Structure 1
């Protein structure tokens, strides 16, 4: 039996390539509204957006406030007049984002392997109208025993409530066999710690951790996650199912 029999997985930049999706969506949005959409403008958006999501994780603002002010602050930072378009721009951007289901290379194969030994579920802070289409189009849904999006659950990471809700819905009570896996230290890892769960930081970009938040594990590839989740005899079977299917074909 695997060391961890349930994985609560973040979606963006853990399984879905959110950076690629965001880059396309924000460039399209700025261009649509006749605004600068060069690298500097996109970076301005990233900075403002990151500040707001960090404020949400600290409980300083709520989601409605974030979506209401995000593009107004971006326009201000770009030195552009708002003209009351901030919320409209946010809605346009969210729609564009929902159309991009870019996967991190190897994600589907990793889920195929991990799903052989563990219950898999997604726990995401993304907006329902954005995440659901992306998860459906990406092919991730078929591997999941549950999908828990903060907007629908009524609680967001790093609150323990969203993890508690997920485990109740999955019918799981042994928290020592549950692993929270995600790329965001402030939301995913802090949230898992708040819920009393083991945590694994997905650090594909080899970033420095200067937050003071300490995950139990850090990985730089899906293969490293196999070694954390699976026992030795299970590791021996990694890749064998695909090989068997090829031989049967």
Structure 2
């Protein structure tokens, strides 16, 4: 039996390449509204957006507020006049983002292997419309036993409530065999810690952790995740199909 028989997985920059999707969606949006779209503009947007999502994870604002002010803050940071279209621009950006479902290299193979030994579920803070579209287009949904998006569930990471609701819906009672996997220290890892669950920080880019939030594990590849989740016998059977797990839930 696997060391962990239930994995609660983030989507962006854990399974799907959000950076690539964001880059294309942002470029298309800025051009659509005849706004600067050079490297400075992109860097400014990323900084504004990062701060807003960090504030969301800390409970300082909700998602509706984030979407309402995101491009207003961008315009202000760029020294541009407010054109009164901030929410319209944001909605257009979200529509563009939904079109891009770039799968990270090795993600589908990893899901195929992990689904043989564990219950898999997506737990995402992303916008429902955007995430549903990207999950469907990417093909990652077929490996999931559940898909939980915070807007629909009614709670967001890092709230323990979200993870409690997910585990209840999945019928998982043995929390010692649950692993939260994600790239966001403030949302995924802090959320897992808040819920009393083991956590695995996906750090494919080799970033420094200066947050004070300490995951139980840190990985730089999906192969490292195999070694955390699977027992030696299961590792030896990588590539063998139809060995569907019998979970100790």
TM class, shorter-length: over 0.9
Match of 1:160 in 2: 160
Match of 2:232 in 1: 232
Match of 1:38 in 2: 38
Match of 2:149 in 1: 149
Match of 1:247 in 2: none
C-alpha deviation, 1:240, in angstroms? 3.8
Task: Confirm or deny that 1:115 pairs with 2:115.
Answer: yes
Match of 1:246 in 2: none
C-alpha deviation, 1:48, in angstroms? 0.2
- Name stretches of at least 5 consecutive residues in structure 1 with no aligned partner: 243-249
C-alpha deviation, 1:95, in angstroms? 0.2
Match of 2:135 in 1: 135
Match of 1:103 in 2: 103
C-alpha deviation, 1:209, in angstroms? 0.4
| 2-structure distance, mates of 1:71, 1:221 | 34
* Contact residue 21 and residue 101 of structure 2 kept, 8 A: yes
| 2-structure distance, mates of 1:169, 1:99 | 29
Match of 1:50 in 2: 50
Trace 1:149-188 onto structure 2 (pairs within 5 A). 149-188=149-188
C-alpha deviation, 1:85, in angstroms? 0.7
Match of 1:8 in 2: 8
| 1-structure distance, mates of 2:33, 2:201 | 37
Question: CA deviation digits over 1:125-149, x for unaligned, max 9?
Answer: 0000110000000000100000000
C-alpha deviation, 1:88, in angstroms? 0.4
| 1-structure distance, mates of 2:78, 2:25 | 18
| 2-structure distance, mates of 1:241, 1:197 | 29
* Contact residue 153 and residue 162 of structure 2 kept, 8 A: yes
Question: CA deviation digits over 1:202-246, x for unaligned, max 9?
Answer: 00000000000000000000000000000000000113449xxxx
| 2-structure distance, mates of 1:53, 1:224 | 28
- Off by >3 Å, runs of 4+ in structure 1: none
Match of 1:78 in 2: 78
C-alpha deviation, 1:8, in angstroms? 0.1
| 2-structure distance, mates of 1:94, 1:160 | 27
| 1-structure distance, mates of 2:202, 2:5 | 18
> Cα RMSD between the aligned structures?
0.9
Report the secondary structure of 2:37's partner residue. coil
* Contact residue 200 and residue 219 of structure 2 kept, 8 A: yes
| 1-structure distance, mates of 2:240, 2:159 | 39
Match of 1:194 in 2: 194
- Name stretches of at least 5 consecutive residues in structure 2 with no aligned partner: 243-249
| 2-structure distance, mates of 1:129, 1:75 | 25
Task: Confirm or deny that 1:90 pairs with 2:58.
Answer: no
TM-score of the superposed pair, with normalisation by structure 2: 0.96
User: How many residues were matched structurally?
Assistant: 242
Match of 2:214 in 1: 214
TM-score of the superposed pair, with normalisation by structure 1: 0.96
